[in-house]
Amino acid sequence: MALAHARLGLVIGRGPRLLARQTKAVAPLAFEGHRKLTTHPQYKPPFDYKNKGFPYWRTFIDWTTSRLNENSRIIQVEGPPCVGKAELAKKIADEFQLLYMPGINEDDIFIQNGFDKRELNGARSLGHMFYDLNDFYKDSDPNTQKMVGNLQVSFYRERFLQYLMALRHVLSTGQGVVLENSAWSDIIYADTLFRHKYMTKQAYKWYKEYRHVSLWEFWRPHLVIHLDADTKTIMDGMLKKNPEYAKSPVLTEDFIDTLRSNYKENYLPYMSDSSEVLSYDIADFPDFDIFALDLSKLELMEDDLDMPNKFKHWRRDKEEDYSNYRHTLFNDTYFKNVMRHNLPWEAPELMMEPEQILDFDYLCRQIPELNYSSKWYEENKGKFEPTTV
C-alpha cells in the first residue's frame, strides 16, 4: 500500500527569479503492495550521504527534489512507556517501505565503541556520575539527589542527533522515516520530572532554552501519531518489564497521570499547528489494515489557509530552498556548536566538579574505546591492550 494520497504538493515559483531552479513536481503514483520508493525510474537513486556528506558545490549538481516523492515524510510515534510505540512504528515502516529509527535508549547514551561508561561509577572521584533510569526508578530518594536532570539532557542530545539524521536521510534519499519518540517530545519527560521536583527549576529553565536554541533550525515532522492507555495499563506494563520497580517511589499513578496529561494538553496542541496529529487509545486502536488505509488517505502537504503553519517548512517553491537547507544539515561544525550550549552555573546537577573533569579525562585516556572516534577505533581496535578500569 502506498501513501498515494499524501502528495508532495510542491509549489512552483511564480515569475522569473535569478538562478531560481524550480522544483521538480512529482506526480503521485499508486502501487499494489509495498512501495519501492527509491528504485522507481521516475526518481534518482539514493545519495550516499553517510560517506559523501553534502558540500555546497553539490547543491548545483544534485537536485534534492529529484528524489522527493509522496512517501518522503517524517512520521513520529509518540506516547508514554509500554503502549506499543515500537511495534506500531515498525509496522508503518514495513507497510510503506520507510526507514525505522528505534527509540533512543540508555545504551545509546552510555556505550561508546562497546565500552559502557557506567563501569566508571565509583572510579576515583567520579562517584555515581553515570546515573541511569534503573537508578532513578530504584532510588529510595531521587528527589534529594537531583541526578536525573543530567540524564534527561543526555536523552535530548541523542534524540536531537537522531532527528538530524532523519532529516538528512529524507532529503538525501527520498525515503521517509518513522521515529519512536523524538527530540520534539522529549520536553514532556523533562516537564514531568520538573513538576514532581526531580529536576530543579534552574536546570529545567536551562533545558528549555537549550531545546529552543537547538531545535529552531529543524523542519518539523509531517505526522505525529500519539498512543495512549489508562494509567493502570501503563504501570502494569512497566512493572511486567521491570518487576524490580514494584517499590519505586517514582512509579506512581500521579507521575504517570502527569506524563499523560502533558502529552494531551501541551505537546499535541503544540505540534498540531505545524504537523498532522492523530491520537489513539490502544484499547480502541483499529485493525492495522484499516489504520494503514487511513494513513494512505492523509494529505500531508496540503496548503490550508486556515492553518498556514502546517507543513510550511516542507512547502518550498525553489530547488535552492531544499538543497541549501540540506547543505546546512551537513554542517557538522555548526551543529557541534549548537550542542555545546554553555551549562548553567546555577544548576550544578548538570555539571561535573573540576576534580571529576580531571579524573574523567584521565580515565578516558586510558580507555581506547573512549579516546577515539568510532571509525578510527573500528579500524584499529585489534591493536589495543585490554581495557582495565
CATH no. for residue 156?
A: 3.40.50.300
Across the strands, what pairs with 281? 228
Answer yes or no: do 364 and 321 share one domain.
Answer: no
- Residue 88 grid coordinates: 506500531
The torsion defined by the Cα of 293, 299, 300 and 306, in degrees rounded to 10, comes to -140
Answer yes or no: do 204 and 303 share one domain.
Answer: yes
> How many whole angstroms separate alpha carbon 138 and alpha carbon 289?
40
Answer yes or no: do 208 and 237 share one domain.
Answer: yes
Answer yes or no: do 343 and 382 share one domain.
Answer: no
Distance of CA 354 to the CA centre of its chain: 32
21, part of any domain: no
Distances (CA, A) of 119 to 114, 129, 289: 12, 10, 45
Closest CA to 185 of 75, 314, 73, 79: 79
24, part of any domain: no
Provide the residue-wise pLDDT of the chain in tens; the chain has 389 residues.
443 333 333 322 322 222 333 344 333 333 333 444 444 557 788 999 999 999 999 999 999 999 998 889 999 999 999 999 999 999 999 999 999 999 999 999 999 999 999 999 999 889 888 999 999 999 888 877 678 999 999 999 999 999 999 999 999 999 999 999 999 999 999 999 999 999 999 999 999 999 999 999 999 999 999 999 999 999 999 999 999 999 999 999 999 999 999 999 999 999 999 999 999 999 999 999 999 999 988 888 877 777 888 999 998 889 999 999 999 999 999 998 888 877 788 888 888 888 999 999 999 888 888 887 777 777 777 676 655 55
Answer yes or no: do 324 and 367 share one domain.
Answer: no
Answer yes or no: do 171 and 71 share one domain.
Answer: yes
pLDDT at 385: 66
- Residue 295 grid coordinates: 494513513
Q: How many domains does the chain have?
A: 2
HEC per residue, 21-62:
CECCCCCCCCCCCCCCCCCCCCCCCCCCHHHHCCCHHHHHCC
155, part of any domain: yes
> How many whole angstroms separate alpha carbon 210 and alpha carbon 297?
37
- Residue 126 grid coordinates: 567520579
Backbone φ and ψ of 116, nearest 5°: -90, 115
Specify the pairing of strand 74-78 against strand 177-180. parallel
Across the strands, what pairs with 199? none
Answer yes or no: do 67 and 105 share one domain.
Answer: yes
28, part of any domain: no
Answer yes or no: do 137 and 191 share one domain.
Answer: yes
Question: For residue 358, what is the enclosing H or E element?
Answer: helix 354-366
Specify the pairing of strand 111-112 against strand 115-116. antiparallel
12, part of any domain: no
Answer yes or no: do 226 and 291 share one domain.
Answer: yes
- Residue 357 grid coordinates: 573533569
> How many whole angstroms separate alpha carbon 347 and alpha carbon 213?
18
Backbone φ and ψ of 36, nearest 5°: -90, 90
> How many whole angstroms separate alpha carbon 368 and alpha carbon 381?
8
pLDDT at 11: 28
Answer yes or no: do 229 and 81 share one domain.
Answer: yes
pLDDT at 389: 56
Answer yes or no: do 124 and 175 share one domain.
Answer: yes
3-state SS assignment for residue 160 = helix
43, part of any domain: no
Domain interval for residue 193: 53-348
Question: How does pLDDT run across 128-158, given as a tens digit for each residue?
Answer: 889 999 999 998 888 776 789 999 999 999 9
Closest CA to 251 of 261, 263, 265, 237: 237
Angle between the N-to-C axes of helices 201-215 and 186-195, in degrees from 0 to 180, rounded to the nearest 10? 170
370, part of any domain: yes
Answer yes or no: do 368 and 219 share one domain.
Answer: no
39, part of any domain: no
